[in-house]
Amino acid sequence: MYSQLFTPIKLNNTLTLKNRIAMAPLTRCMAGPGLVPTKEMAAYYARRADVGLIISEATIIRADAQGYPDVPGIWSPAHIEGWQQVTDAVHDNGGTMFCQLWHVGRVSHQVFHGTRPVSASAIGLNERIPRMPGLSYPVPRALASGEIEQLIEDYATAASNARAAGFDGVEIHGANGYLLDQFLHHASNHRDDEFGGSADNMVRFPLAVVDAVIAAVGAERVGLRLSPGAYAHMTEDKRDKAVFELLLKELDKRDLAYLHVGIFDDSMTFESLDGMRSSEFLRANYQGTFIGCGSYTAEQADQGISDGLYDLAAIGRPLIANPDYVSRIQSGEGLVDYDVEMLKTLV
């Protein structure tokens, strides 16, 4: 029934995946004290190791990167040790796992880290904070140039820490309205220095992060997630298209392991992208390995790969509901429907 989903794919000379199903990064907010990964997290990921690639839940690169309760970190020895038990469990079950590196930027509150959130510019979000009743996002402060340089180093350090923790690679989270994405959209970047005001300047910080992470762990172990169509914690601006066109042109020169679209529903189209879907726009402007995402059924995922829309398909909520997703799809067994109550435990 599936002509593509269960075929191997060679990302590069270092990594070959056993099938074309990726586990999308799924924030679960269940890290232990100190934001350290737990044995329960190790068992949760190990049960899903039959997918071609597990992309971890978003993992913060330093303390002020946090914007949700109980999310894991990757900046301390305790975090490295905690994640090591996760990657060991995944590898013992034959899996491959990347760590998604995350800084939320303005999508945060001082309740998490005691400091005012930071962003490209001092432009706030008119939104309430999920899982934190009664709290809304404050207006962030704009990062100074020197702070941006430090962040570039911190992303690279986090990538090295992830490799030390046994991850096979890292995915830089540049999507969904979080910090790197805030530099790429005109709605959130009003800077007039070398990091804003033009497409050349707006891509400077994200590309510097990519280059620093490549220098730390090698391009063959680096993925990147992007959201060219503004929809999460962001508003559309037609000028954004030129920014992403330039970014993708530059990324094509860097031989990444893959590019990954960040969107929850890939049927969405965007006026700012001339009516295209985010995945369609990325595929048209990027020549390397591409992971599609966005509420696909297994049938849609297989057909999309067959049609050349993407090379792998990331699956999200069905993998929360079905730890044995791969075997169920292969055998034709029906899937358990996702329910929000499932977020209360790691199954």
Instruction: Name residue 270's beta-bridge partners.
Output: 276
Is the pLDDT reported for residue 131 higher than 90? Answer: no
For the record, the structure tokens of 344 come out as 């209360």
Task: Give all domains of the chain, ordered by start, each with its CATH number.
Answer: 9-344 (3.20.20.70)
pTM: 0.98
CB of 174 closer than 8 Å to CB of 180 = yes
CA distance 11 to 251: 16
pLDDT in the model for residue 234 = 95
pLDDT in the model for residue 58 = 98
Amino acid at 224: L
- Active-site residue set: 178
Is the pLDDT reported for residue 134 higher than 90? Answer: no
Confidence of residue 170 (pLDDT cuts 50, 70, 90): very high
pLDDT in the model for residue 181 = 98
Residues 179-211 have pLDDT tens digits of 999 999 999 999 999 999 999 999 999 999 999
Residues 30-72 have pLDDT tens digits of 999 999 999 999 999 999 999 999 999 999 999 999 999 999 9
Query: What is the separation of C-alpha 135 from the centre of its chain, rounded to a whole number of angstroms?
Result: 25
CB of 65 closer than 8 Å to CB of 75 = no
Among residues 96, 108, 105, the alpha carbon closest in space to that of 205 is found at 105
Is the pLDDT reported for residue 133 higher than 90? Answer: no
